[in-house]
Amino acid sequence: MKNFCKILSVLFLSMAWNSSAQLLNKSWGSVTEKEEGAWFASDEAKAIAENVLLYQRNIGGWPKNIQMQKPLTEAEKKELLDLKPDTHDVTTDNGATYQEMVFLSKMYRQVPDERYKKAFLAGLDYILEAQYDNGGWPQFYPLKKGYYTHITYNDDSMVNILNVLKEIKDKTDYFSIQPNEKTIEKVKAAFDKGIDCILKTQYKQNGVLTSWCAQHDENTLEPAKARAYELPSLSGKESAKIVLLLMSIENPSSDVINAVNSAVAWFEKVKITGLREDRTVENGKIVDKKIVVDVTAKPLWARFMELEDNKPFFCDRDGVKKYSLAEIGAERRNGYAWYTNEPKEVLKSYDEWKKKLPTELSSKKKVGTKTPRDEYNMVVALDGSGDFTSIQDAINAAKAFPPQRVIINVKNGLYHEKVKIHEWNSHISIIGESRDKTIITYDDYFDKINLGRNSTFYTSTVLVEGDDFYAENITIQNTAGKVGQAIALSVNANRVLLSRCNILGNQDTLYLTGNGSKQYFKDCYIEGTTDFIFGQATVLFERCEIHNLSNSYISAASTPDNVAFGFVFKNCRLTAAQGVKEAYLGRPWRIHAKTVFIESEIGKHIKPEGWNDWDKAETHQTAYYGEYNCTGEGFQPKLRVNWSHQLKKKEAKKYTIKNILGTNSKGKQWYEQFNQ
């Protein structure tokens, strides 16, 4: 019997030691995340709670990177008591203060010790006191000199704070401890100021809202530098939790909705596909990281991206930007999280979030507005100040085959929707408030649609099927990225004019079709990678900038045999992204393709031969590719393929606007009908 008791005693001691060892092997954060329940009433939890109380400073906050579950010696306990008045290193960084408050709340629910409540409320007072007047929070409070004074989104510091305040102001059951009503009013005000700060710090890139930096200057609110390798940038990591917080707000304002829509569009635009991060781990430590090509890899986002163009970059401790992870030393390459997949949670939740929006702020008509105030002159505005908050709703409200032009005025904003101008929606004009700030965006692409070999034609962000369509001061974009065919704008209609518009995408950006259709692009910017202007319509591009994003083909015409003009570029400017050096003017999608460049400036990125036959030798006799009186380093007429044409002056004279675009049924020049 003695031996049996001895064995039991050893067994219980062993179990207790194993439990403590397992807990010590975990991080403090994982301990605070333990599911609420009986464990928080255990002696082990109570012992940890004593440590938490000891580590709290009189100001109410805690220092960071402390493993609170680690047993303390009597000397260590005395040292912590002596440190109580010290305000140095009290912070909300790396989960500090937030994690301790969560732990104390879980303790108090099981063991209503008033000391836990008092400590929790002191932590809340600390958070409220630390907030800037502009709504942000510094990394340390009291303020610590250096970059620590910046508004800190880094490692989700400010989001953690706001989540605490949100649970308290909403009086949820998440925390077992609730302050008095006077404090709750302060919490509500602090939360609102915090959200306002988030909205004000969302970075505008060329006038378009994007995401956030890990830290922002506390005075100017501009992106700011932290450590040497943490330069001002757009963050793929911290921005994700910010957006999830905004999406958790009930009855969001139009500004919050616009912020979310804009950030989601940005996440879609900058996601990295086809790459995988491989890690080599030895003895639990990462000893090497490599980025490898993997077409099956799930999307990644860079932690640091250039403010101007979203290009990912990396830094060593010398603060010098590199554009490949392999270029930086092993210490920073392996010891820092340069990539993240956190935005996937935003994209996963986005559609459900939109469905839950209040009716008056979702993509529906305004409450009480069944018809627009003027059915021939409508207004679309995301803030609800117009007739509709959705462009498609305005189109759907338009008369079929109207007796006069229907003008849809669109206020600045990011309209995340697929738009279709139906065949019966003729004589519609969509007029944006400003070219770069009125944006229609979506992200469909071939594999996402997955409807077979013709999936490309379902990917359009905007599809025009109604004749006599006009658009002005609008950006139309497909943000799917370099994932194959993904159309921004499809035009399958006659007598269509776009003026001062941006058409943005990658492969197959602009599809122009329709039997006998005549279309006109004037003063537009069009960008893409492969065949980014394609189709069978007769189209005049005048004073447009055509921008190559990769070494590929600008155009892929499929002009019918009996049609005189295909794609005609007059007075256009051909430009390219950095590093693009070998692009073609065009190749034939169908063998009778016709494409001509007249008096245009051709950049040096265009290959000397100019044109490609797409391995269709017969096109040397059937296609018509020509140039006339062009300029620029890329205009090399003597080096062009011998089956292309350098037009004579007499030949060029037939390329007039009237000859190319024709007239309407009344014999008038149809492109003059629009309000330009």
Of 339, 214, 357, 249, which is closest to residue 286 (Cα–Cα)?
A: 339
CA atoms within 13 A on the CB side of 183: 17
Which residues have a Cβ under 8 Å from the Cβ of 434 and sit 6 or more positions away? 207, 412, 473
Which residue has tokens 């510094």? 138
Token pair in block for residue 72: 């303390």
Token pair in block for residue 100: 């301790």
Q: Catalytic residues, which ones?
A: 508, 531
**Other Cβ atoms closer than 10 A to 285:** 9
**What CA–CA distance (Å, rounded) separates 461 from 419?**
6
Q: Are 465 and 422 in contact (CB under 8 A)?
A: yes
Write the DSSP string, 558-585.
---TT-S--EEEES-EEEE-TT---BEE
**What CA–CA distance (Å, rounded) separates 136 from 461?**
37
Q: 3-class SS at 228?
A: coil
**What CA–CA distance (Å, rounded) separates 101 from 90?**
14
Task: Using CB atoms within 10 Å of the CB of residue 599, give its burial: 0 to 12 exposed, 13 to 18 middle, 19+ buried.
Answer: middle
**Other Cβ atoms closer than 10 A to 73:** 8
Of 268, 674, 202, which is closest to residue 461 (Cα–Cα)?
A: 268
Residue 377 C-alpha from the chain's centroid? 32
**What CA–CA distance (Å, rounded) separates 372 from 361?**
16
Q: What angle do CA 66, 70, 71 make, to 5 degrees?
A: 130
Q: Are 440 and 420 in contact (CB under 8 A)?
A: no
Q: In this structure, are strands 301-302 and 339-340 parallel, antiparallel, or unpaired?
A: antiparallel
Which residues have a Cβ under 8 Å from the Cβ of 570 and sit 6 or more positions away? 540, 541, 542, 543, 598, 599, 600, 655
CA distances to 39, 46, 107, 431, 479 from 42, in Å: 5, 6, 10, 66, 52
Over the range 432-455, which residues count as b (16 or more CB within 10 Å of their CB) and which as e?
Answer: bbebbbbbbbbbbbbeebeeeeeb
**What CA–CA distance (Å, rounded) separates 668 from 414?**
37
Q: In this structure, are strands 624-628 and 584-586 parallel, antiparallel, or unpaired?
A: unpaired
H helix or E strand, kind and range, residue 485: none
**What CA–CA distance (Å, rounded) separates 566 from 598?**
13
**What CA–CA distance (Å, rounded) separates 304 from 234?**
6
